[in-house]
Structure 1
């Protein structure tokens, strides 16, 4: 495609850039992927560069885009067609409930289960005093055996300590909270895009250059009393969120 220049009375020249070479290559790779099944091997960078007569860096950039979008994934030393992203509804439900509703098998691995003192920010969000005891539960989240996120939950020890002392941290926390009669009435949630720290990337088997979806949630009961403060970090290549908007 050649560059074109558009001019008009009283205007300066505008250069219409040619289609990026890597984007053309990406489109060609997408055509290849459409003919493959989940788990099938993707041709190597060397093969693709030779097929499209481009530099390997051009192929690498196209593959990087598809990796971020979750179309492909690294497996060992190779690249394969990825499974579909887990689509989670934005609602007052646990990760377990959301994954099950999507037909996936949820599981968790405990990283941290401790008591700590609330700082100013945590005390405000949980409606407690600075220095009060808080239970911190950090877990890696899995879907069908694949690591997709890292969740940190903070709960007032005075309200949930006894329940948590007997809690199996590999099971649903929301189910345990509801079992003692606590009702989730509403939640405030903020979503943003971030990059993982080296520790977080290692825990979810990702990289520090892979975009992550960060969710901050504070849930309250029908009386407006805070139940939890949650920080959930999800792999942007393995999960998406869905919500229904009504006027």
Structure 2
């Protein structure tokens, strides 16, 4: 006779955490430690998030004096909470006018799609403001990325990326001049480079290597984007390739961390 399988003890019931309000601005767990002690500014931040949900997008926050009295905290504590929400892009401060509830962040897909298509898919109007169009001598690192020799010329295109006329990113693109000698003859710099390469020059994008990291903007970059140099920025570096594995472009994009995030879908390796 075969032995009876051992009887496994029943698992103890796990506590159920109530779901938070349906708001993309809230964490799934508020992050309150077991001892329950949190900085006053954090508690104020949570109350402000609730107030922002009630007020809605573009609404003006009540004056600091009123909020500090209502929350029974010092105005310095309130300002600390507000400053954190401004840095996260959930509030926007306008000098002389007050602090407003910010619109939701734009979500840029990590994909081989043009910036124009991405912004339009979010219901906004894309735009570009040209900063620099020039021939640029490739240094060794750039030359290696583009599969050319150091000292070869590239076409450098630098543009401020706009969404509904608001600056949200700064893009620098480098193209091998030998491969694209007529690019400046067919390209309108304020329009989509991706579309020009595909439709006018017959380029096929097959794949890309891309990295994302957080940085602070240099003073010039912050000035071009009209943002505070202390705000976090998202930096992407991408090299795109054609179906034969030949590099097409090297792109550096600096995005305002308070106005944009990235999204992608991950699939299991096969």
Counterpart check, 1:151 vs 2:175: no
SS of match in other structure, 1:31: helix
Match among 61, 71, 75 for residue 42 of structure 1: 61
Q: Which residue of 1 aligns with 2:152?
A: 132
Please list, as runs of the form range in 1=range in 2, the aligned pairs for 1:44-123 lying within 5 A after superposition: 44-77=63-96, 78-123=98-143
Deviation at 1:76, TM superposition (A): 3.9
Q: Which residue of 1 aligns with 2:52?
A: 33
Q: Which residue of 1 aligns with 2:7?
A: none
Counterpart check, 1:191 vs 2:212: yes
CA–CA distance in 1 between the matches of 2:45 and 2:129? 36
CA–CA distance in 1 between the matches of 2:172 and 2:66? 42
SS of match in other structure, 1:187: strand
Please list, as runs of the form range in 1=range in 2, the aligned pairs for 1:10-21 lying within 5 A after superposition: 16=35, 18-21=37-40
Deviation at 1:195, TM superposition (A): 0.8
Deviations 1:19-78 (A, max 9, x none): 110011111111110111221111233332222221222111111221122211123432
Give the greater-gyration-radius structure (CA): 2
Counterpart check, 1:205 vs 2:205: no
Contact 2:186/2:196, CA 8 A, preserved across alignment? no
Structure 1 unaligned segments of length 5 or more: list them.
1-14
CA–CA distance in 2 between the matches of 1:44 and 1:114? 48
SS of match in other structure, 2:65: helix
Which structure has the highest strand share of the two? 1
TM-score normalised by structure 2 residue count: 0.83
SS of match in other structure, 2:79: helix
Q: Which residue of 2 aligns with 1:232?
A: 253
TM-score normalised by structure 1 residue count: 0.90
Q: Which residue of 2 aligns with 1:9?
A: none
CA–CA distance in 2 between the matches of 1:205 and 1:243? 28
Deviation at 1:94, TM superposition (A): 1.5
CA–CA distance in 1 between the matches of 2:93 and 2:226? 10
CA–CA distance in 2 between the matches of 1:244 and 1:79? 35
SS of match in other structure, 2:245: coil
CA–CA distance in 2 between the matches of 1:51 and 1:241? 37
CA–CA distance in 1 between the matches of 2:95 and 2:243? 49
More off after superposition, 60-69 vs 131-140: 60-69
Q: After the TM superposition, list the runs of 4 or more consecutive aligned residues in structure 1 that deviate by more than 4 angstroms.
A: none
Count of residue pairs the alignment pairs up: 233
Structure 2 unaligned segments of length 5 or more: list them.
1-33
Q: Which residue of 2 aligns with 1:165?
A: 185
| Two-structure CA RMSD over aligned residues (Å) | 1.5
Deviation at 1:206, TM superposition (A): 1.1
